[in-house]
Structure 1
Amino acid sequence: MDFPVTFHIFGKTVLAHPLFEAVGMFMGMRYYYYLKRKSPDKLSFNTSAAVLIGATAGALLGSKLIGNLENPYRLFEDFSIKNFWSNNTIVGGLAFGLLGVELAKKVVGHKESTGDLIVFPLMLAMIIGRVGCFLTGIYEETYGIPTDSVFGMHLGDSYLRHPVALYEIVFLMILWGVLKYFQKHKKYKAGFLFELFMLSYFLFRFLLDFIKPRIEIAGSLGTIQLVCIGVIIYYLYHIKNTLFLNLKY
């Protein structure tokens, strides 16, 4: 396979990453609306609109902000709107999307969790998007460091590299099965499924970034790993409280 993989659409050459990202978002939203129609829990129009706006605004801001802060030296030395807009990361999108939703819920006075329904559509979108990341190889910053392990692959240069996008796809598929088990066989407070997803994913990303190129910000940790630590601490606290409430009942 030659990297990057491109597609010819309406006479234009398109990289795999943005194409699969768009398809992933579309499929994720369709899956979400399908699950929402089947769900017995119905949100009011105001709550649904507020959550959607908060999640979208937070995810957009966070993905760009954290994506650019992965290399803060380049950001401040050679700043341009084009470069700022082209850098993004799902870690920032998830973290700031969460903040956006929580702020929106406070505005409309909604106290119940709204996250469980979005878990599997979000994972579907991420899996499809990561296929695009893999097909782009080293031409976007979603590849691993060189390795001599059996998993090493040529991704567009002369090195065998960790195919981190494939690692993430496998992880998400395993996590999908684990969360489906919890959904079918366990009783839990509303929001627990989303909390478990976020804690699991951010733990995985914290470890995964050790085998990705990164600018070390604090010790050997990069910006994404520092964000992961903050989210992990937040969700460890919330899951501890959720388990305590479940034990009470």
Structure 2
Amino acid sequence: MLAIPTAPWAHGLFDILAWAASALTGTVLHRWRLREAAERLSRVTGPGYFAALAAGALAGAWAMGSINSLRMTTPMVSHSIAGALAGAIVAVEGYKWAAGIKGSTGTAFVGPLAIGIVFGRWGCLFAGLPDRTYGVPTALPWAVDLGDGIGRHPVEVYESLALFAFLLVFVIALAARQSWAYRRSFYVLAGWYGVQRFAWEFLKPYPMLIGPLNIFHLLCLGLVAYGCAFYAADRRRERATARRGAVPVLRRDDEPV
């Protein structure tokens, strides 16, 4: 069992590191491979897009986090990265539908979001038991003691490593100029986040909502469904465009190509 030094302020420190790493990653990827994707995004979206993204993320984060934490032994309001991701997706896809924007607009956010979670989850770990993101007890050799003498699954580390693995695959795919990395990587990220988070939720002492599933299990199933459905739809658009011999372009419905 590994004894982990914890302190409530650690979460804030790692949040700062996460934001810094996100900004740096976004800048590097933009200059290296994603300048064109960012330029396409700026051409077809307006201020309303980013307002919808921010509002959806904020609402989703606090709504989903609080639905879970208010049902715990000591009720309290809280926020959740899974809720923020789901809320942002709902708000942005709604905005895109209203504006007639086709195709993925999330490629530029993939790297920053992934690295942000990689760093942020370590903050959850070092914040200790008050953060309420700890795992259930286990006797595994890598169990962590967060100050109460009980060995627990380091679920925060599991999630961090899972997102780091995705980030490596994403960067390798960008280097190889694979189509999915440029066109559909956000859908892959949403699906992968949902799959890995769904697994770790069984290792958390959260209140059940339906059978053995908690609110985040259901949220993750939604993320997986979204990723798969939108990936398949964009793949069909890409094939149809290729058959017509045209270059695929992110666009509004009323814009000529």
Which position in structure 2 is the counterpart of 1:183? 174
Q: Sequence identity, in percent?
A: 27
Contact 1:179–1:197 (8 Å) recurs in 2: no
Aligned residues of 2:11 and 2:123 also touching (Cα < 8 A): yes
Residue 133 of structure 1: which of 124, 127, 130 is its match? Answer: 124
CA deviation after TM superposition for structure 1 residue 166, in Å: 1.1
1:11 is aligned to none
Task: Specify the alignment match of 2:198 in structure 1.
Answer: 206
Give the 5 Å matches for 1:157-236: 157-185=148-176, 186-188=178-180, 191-236=183-228
Shift in Å at residue 111 of structure 1?
A: 2.6
Look up the equivalent residue of 2:14 and give its one-letter code.
Answer: F
Match for residue 255 of structure 2?
A: none
What's the TM-score, normalizing by structure 1?
0.83
- Once the two structures are overlaid, the 10-residue window that deviates more, 172-181 or 185-194, is 185-194
> What is aligned with 1:144?
135
Name the CA distance, whole Å, in 2 between partners of 1:23 and 1:204. 23
Return the letter of the residue paired with 2:195. Answer: L
Alpha-carbon deviation of 1:40?
2.0
2:237 matched to 1:241?
no
CA RMSD of aligned residues (A): 2.6
Which residue is equivalent to 1:58?
56
Match of 2:85 among 91, 94, 97: 94
Contact 1:142 1:165 in 2 (8 A): yes
Superimposed CA distance per residue, residues 30-79 of structure 1 (whole angstroms, 9 cap, x where no aligned partner):
5435544660241447825222211111111001000011144359x96x
Which residue of 2 is the match for residue 10 of structure 1? none
Measured against aligned partners, the alpha-carbon deviations of 1:102-150 in whole angstroms (never above 9, x if no partner) come to: 2233444433321011100111111121121111121211111100112
- Residues 189 and 210 of structure 1: CA distance in aligned 2, closer, same or farther (over 3 Å): closer
Given the superposition, is the C-alpha separation of residues 245 and 184 from structure 1 closer, same or farther in structure 2, using an over 3 Å criterion? farther
CA distance in 2, matches of 1:34, 1:143: 33
1-side partners of 2:205 and 2:134: how far apart? 8
Q: What residue number does 1:4 align with?
A: 6
Correspondence 1:20 to 2:14: yes
Q: How many residues align?
A: 234
Output the CA distance in 2 between the equivalents of 1:63 and 1:21.
15
**Conserved? CA contact 2:55–2:88, under 8 Å:** yes
| Structure 1: unaligned runs, 5 residues or longer | 7-14
- Could you tell me how far 1:167 is from its partner in structure 2? 1.1
SS at match of 2:53: helix
- Highest relative contact order (Cα 8 Å, sep 6+), 1 or 2? 2
Q: Alpha carbons of 1:137 and 1:21: their partners in 2 closer, same or farther (altered >3 Å)?
A: same
Cα pair distance change 1:171/1:58, threshold 3 Å: same
Structure 2 runs not aligned, ≥5 long: 243-257
| 2:99 corresponds to 1:103 | no
